[in-house]
Amino acid sequence: MRAARGWHLVTAAISGSSLLLQLVIILARDNDTVLVRLVRLFSFFTIQSNIIVTVVAVTLFLGPDRDGPVWRIARLASLVCITVTGIVYVTVLRGLYELTPAERVADTGLHYLTPVLVVVGWVLFGPRPRIGVRTIALTLLFPVLWLGYTLVRGELTDEYPYPFVDVNAEGYPTVAVNCVLVTALFLAVSGVYRLLDTRLRAVRSSPAEPASTLRGHGRSQSSP
Protein backbone atom coordinates (compact mmCIF):
# COMPACT_ATOMS: atom_id res chain seq x y z
CA MET A 1 0.00 0.00 0.00
CA ARG A 2 2.89 2.36 0.75
CA ALA A 3 4.35 1.83 -2.72
CA ALA A 4 0.98 2.61 -4.31
CA ARG A 5 0.60 5.81 -2.29
CA GLY A 6 4.10 6.89 -3.22
CA TRP A 7 3.53 6.24 -6.91
CA HIS A 8 0.25 8.16 -6.97
CA LEU A 9 1.82 11.04 -5.06
CA VAL A 10 4.62 11.31 -7.63
CA THR A 11 2.05 11.16 -10.44
CA ALA A 12 0.01 13.97 -8.88
CA ALA A 13 3.16 16.03 -8.31
CA ILE A 14 4.42 15.67 -11.89
CA SER A 15 1.05 16.31 -13.51
CA GLY A 16 0.09 19.12 -11.15
CA SER A 17 3.44 20.92 -11.37
CA SER A 18 3.42 20.64 -15.18
CA LEU A 19 -0.06 22.16 -15.25
CA LEU A 20 1.05 24.96 -12.94
CA LEU A 21 4.12 25.69 -15.07
CA GLN A 22 2.00 25.79 -18.22
CA LEU A 23 -0.42 28.17 -16.49
CA VAL A 24 2.44 30.48 -15.48
CA ILE A 25 3.76 30.46 -19.05
CA ILE A 26 0.35 31.43 -20.41
CA LEU A 27 -0.20 34.17 -17.83
CA ALA A 28 3.22 35.64 -18.63
CA ARG A 29 2.17 36.34 -22.20
CA ASP A 30 0.43 39.55 -23.23
CA ASN A 31 -0.93 38.72 -26.68
CA ASP A 32 -4.56 38.59 -25.45
CA THR A 33 -6.59 39.32 -22.34
CA VAL A 34 -6.07 37.02 -19.37
CA LEU A 35 -9.56 35.57 -19.78
CA VAL A 36 -8.99 34.73 -23.45
CA ARG A 37 -5.66 33.09 -22.65
CA LEU A 38 -7.17 31.04 -19.83
CA VAL A 39 -10.11 29.87 -21.94
CA ARG A 40 -7.72 28.91 -24.73
CA LEU A 41 -5.47 27.00 -22.33
CA PHE A 42 -8.25 25.05 -20.63
CA SER A 43 -9.78 24.19 -24.01
CA PHE A 44 -6.87 21.85 -24.74
CA PHE A 45 -7.69 18.19 -24.20
CA THR A 46 -4.18 17.72 -22.82
CA ILE A 47 -4.85 20.21 -20.04
CA GLN A 48 -8.23 18.73 -19.17
CA SER A 49 -6.79 15.20 -19.15
CA ASN A 50 -3.98 16.21 -16.82
CA ILE A 51 -6.40 17.97 -14.48
CA ILE A 52 -8.40 14.74 -14.20
CA VAL A 53 -5.19 12.79 -13.65
CA THR A 54 -4.03 15.11 -10.88
CA VAL A 55 -7.35 14.94 -9.02
CA VAL A 56 -7.62 11.17 -9.37
CA ALA A 57 -3.98 10.64 -8.35
CA VAL A 58 -4.54 12.67 -5.19
CA THR A 59 -7.62 10.59 -4.31
CA LEU A 60 -5.62 7.40 -4.93
CA PHE A 61 -2.85 8.67 -2.68
CA LEU A 62 -5.45 9.18 0.05
CA GLY A 63 -7.11 5.82 -0.60
CA PRO A 64 -5.45 3.41 -3.08
CA ASP A 65 -8.34 0.91 -2.92
CA ARG A 66 -11.20 3.39 -3.16
CA ASP A 67 -14.30 2.56 -5.20
CA GLY A 68 -17.71 3.88 -6.25
CA PRO A 69 -19.64 4.37 -9.52
CA VAL A 70 -18.62 8.00 -10.05
CA TRP A 71 -15.06 7.35 -8.99
CA ARG A 72 -14.77 4.45 -11.45
CA ILE A 73 -15.72 6.81 -14.27
CA ALA A 74 -13.20 9.41 -13.12
CA ARG A 75 -10.45 6.78 -12.77
CA LEU A 76 -11.08 5.33 -16.21
CA ALA A 77 -11.30 8.82 -17.71
CA SER A 78 -7.90 9.67 -16.28
CA LEU A 79 -6.43 6.44 -17.62
CA VAL A 80 -7.97 6.44 -21.10
CA CYS A 81 -7.77 10.18 -21.77
CA ILE A 82 -4.13 10.54 -20.76
CA THR A 83 -3.24 7.44 -22.80
CA VAL A 84 -4.89 8.87 -25.91
CA THR A 85 -3.27 12.23 -25.18
CA GLY A 86 0.17 10.63 -25.17
CA ILE A 87 -0.44 8.52 -28.27
CA VAL A 88 -1.86 11.38 -30.35
CA TYR A 89 0.86 13.77 -29.27
CA VAL A 90 3.72 11.41 -30.08
CA THR A 91 2.28 10.25 -33.41
CA VAL A 92 0.65 13.44 -34.73
CA LEU A 93 1.48 16.61 -32.81
CA ARG A 94 5.08 16.32 -31.65
CA GLY A 95 7.42 18.79 -33.31
CA LEU A 96 4.71 21.00 -34.83
CA TYR A 97 5.70 23.99 -32.69
CA GLU A 98 9.01 25.38 -31.52
CA LEU A 99 9.11 25.39 -27.72
CA THR A 100 10.98 27.57 -25.25
CA PRO A 101 12.96 25.79 -22.50
CA ALA A 102 10.14 26.34 -19.99
CA GLU A 103 7.55 25.14 -22.48
CA ARG A 104 9.64 22.05 -23.14
CA VAL A 105 9.69 21.18 -19.44
CA ALA A 106 5.91 21.54 -19.22
CA ASP A 107 5.50 19.60 -22.47
CA THR A 108 7.60 16.73 -21.15
CA GLY A 109 5.54 16.50 -17.99
CA LEU A 110 2.14 16.76 -19.66
CA HIS A 111 2.73 14.56 -22.70
CA TYR A 112 5.41 12.06 -21.69
CA LEU A 113 5.95 11.60 -17.96
CA THR A 114 2.33 11.78 -16.84
CA PRO A 115 0.95 9.25 -19.37
CA VAL A 116 3.71 6.77 -18.49
CA LEU A 117 3.23 7.23 -14.75
CA VAL A 118 -0.54 6.78 -14.98
CA VAL A 119 -0.42 3.66 -17.15
CA VAL A 120 2.39 1.98 -15.21
CA GLY A 121 0.74 2.91 -11.92
CA TRP A 122 -2.53 1.35 -13.01
CA VAL A 123 -0.78 -1.83 -14.17
CA LEU A 124 1.11 -2.17 -10.90
CA PHE A 125 -1.44 -1.03 -8.36
CA GLY A 126 -4.91 -0.98 -9.93
CA PRO A 127 -7.29 -0.90 -8.14
CA ARG A 128 -9.04 -3.71 -9.97
CA PRO A 129 -11.51 -4.81 -11.15
CA ARG A 130 -13.11 -1.45 -11.85
CA ILE A 131 -13.84 -1.29 -15.60
CA GLY A 132 -17.27 -2.36 -16.86
CA VAL A 133 -19.07 -1.68 -20.14
CA ARG A 134 -21.33 0.92 -18.52
CA THR A 135 -18.31 2.65 -17.02
CA ILE A 136 -16.66 2.79 -20.44
CA ALA A 137 -19.79 4.21 -22.07
CA LEU A 138 -20.14 6.96 -19.49
CA THR A 139 -16.42 7.73 -19.58
CA LEU A 140 -16.44 8.23 -23.35
CA LEU A 141 -19.08 10.93 -22.99
CA PHE A 142 -16.29 13.26 -21.87
CA PRO A 143 -14.28 13.27 -25.13
CA VAL A 144 -17.53 13.48 -27.12
CA LEU A 145 -18.58 16.57 -25.16
CA TRP A 146 -15.09 18.02 -25.57
CA LEU A 147 -15.30 17.55 -29.33
CA GLY A 148 -18.70 19.23 -29.49
CA TYR A 149 -17.43 22.15 -27.41
CA THR A 150 -14.30 22.43 -29.57
CA LEU A 151 -16.21 22.57 -32.85
CA VAL A 152 -18.74 25.09 -31.54
CA ARG A 153 -16.03 27.27 -30.03
CA GLY A 154 -14.07 27.03 -33.27
CA GLU A 155 -17.05 28.28 -35.26
CA LEU A 156 -17.40 31.24 -32.90
CA THR A 157 -13.72 32.16 -32.52
CA ASP A 158 -11.96 30.60 -35.54
CA GLU A 159 -9.60 28.93 -33.05
CA TYR A 160 -9.02 25.21 -32.82
CA PRO A 161 -6.66 23.63 -30.28
CA TYR A 162 -5.32 20.96 -32.64
CA PRO A 163 -4.72 20.81 -36.41
CA PHE A 164 -6.74 17.61 -36.88
CA VAL A 165 -9.93 19.36 -35.71
CA ASP A 166 -9.23 22.65 -37.50
CA VAL A 167 -12.21 23.00 -39.82
CA ASN A 168 -10.80 26.16 -41.40
CA ALA A 169 -7.62 24.40 -42.51
CA GLU A 170 -8.86 20.87 -43.15
CA GLY A 171 -12.56 21.20 -43.93
CA TYR A 172 -15.42 19.29 -42.34
CA PRO A 173 -14.97 16.04 -44.33
CA THR A 174 -11.34 15.63 -43.23
CA VAL A 175 -12.11 16.66 -39.66
CA ALA A 176 -14.98 14.14 -39.60
CA VAL A 177 -12.61 11.36 -40.69
CA ASN A 178 -10.07 12.45 -38.08
CA CYS A 179 -12.75 12.40 -35.40
CA VAL A 180 -13.79 8.88 -36.40
CA LEU A 181 -10.16 7.74 -36.17
CA VAL A 182 -9.70 9.30 -32.74
CA THR A 183 -13.00 7.77 -31.59
CA ALA A 184 -11.77 4.38 -32.75
CA LEU A 185 -8.58 4.95 -30.76
CA PHE A 186 -10.60 5.76 -27.63
CA LEU A 187 -12.67 2.60 -28.07
CA ALA A 188 -9.59 0.46 -28.69
CA VAL A 189 -7.74 1.82 -25.66
CA SER A 190 -10.83 1.36 -23.47
CA GLY A 191 -11.25 -2.20 -24.73
CA VAL A 192 -7.64 -3.07 -24.00
CA TYR A 193 -7.90 -1.70 -20.48
CA ARG A 194 -11.12 -3.61 -19.85
CA LEU A 195 -9.44 -6.82 -21.00
CA LEU A 196 -6.41 -6.19 -18.81
CA ASP A 197 -8.66 -5.22 -15.90
CA THR A 198 -10.01 -8.76 -15.77
CA ARG A 199 -6.58 -10.39 -16.04
CA LEU A 200 -4.16 -8.33 -14.01
CA ARG A 201 -3.83 -8.45 -10.26
CA ALA A 202 -2.67 -5.38 -8.42
CA VAL A 203 0.72 -5.65 -6.78
CA ARG A 204 0.49 -5.31 -3.01
CA SER A 205 3.22 -3.41 -1.25
CA SER A 206 3.04 -5.54 1.92
CA PRO A 207 4.82 -8.92 1.46
CA ALA A 208 3.27 -10.20 4.69
CA GLU A 209 -0.24 -10.32 3.26
CA PRO A 210 -1.08 -13.95 2.44
CA ALA A 211 -2.06 -15.01 -1.06
CA SER A 212 -5.43 -16.27 0.16
CA THR A 213 -6.25 -12.77 1.39
CA LEU A 214 -5.39 -11.35 -2.01
CA ARG A 215 -7.63 -13.84 -3.75
CA GLY A 216 -10.49 -13.14 -1.41
CA HIS A 217 -10.04 -9.40 -1.81
CA GLY A 218 -10.05 -9.69 -5.60
CA ARG A 219 -13.35 -11.62 -5.55
CA SER A 220 -15.01 -9.04 -3.34
CA GLN A 221 -14.55 -6.24 -5.91
CA SER A 222 -17.18 -6.71 -8.58
CA SER A 223 -17.21 -4.94 -11.92
CA PRO A 224 -20.43 -3.17 -12.90
Q: Report pLDDT for 13.
A: 97
Q: What angle do CA 220, 206, 119 make, to 5 degrees?
A: 70
pLDDT in tens, 38-64: 999 999 999 999 999 999 999 999 988
pTM to 2 decimal places? 0.85
CA nearest 12: which of 152, 154, 109, 112? 109
Q: For residue 158, is it left (φ>0), alpha (ψ between -120 and 50) or beta?
A: left
Q: CA 18 to CA 106: how far, in whole Å? A: 5
Q: Report pLDDT for 39.
A: 95
The answer on pLDDT for 164 being more than 90 is yes
Comparison of pLDDT for 67 and 120, the residue scoring more: 120
Q: How confident is the model at residue 201 (pLDDT cuts 50, 70, 90)?
A: low
Contacts 24+ apart (CB under 8 A), 93-98: 93/162, 93/163, 96/163
What are the C-alpha distances in Å from 53 to residues 33, 47, 86, 180, 200?
28, 10, 13, 25, 21
Q: Where are the domains of the chain?
A: 2-205
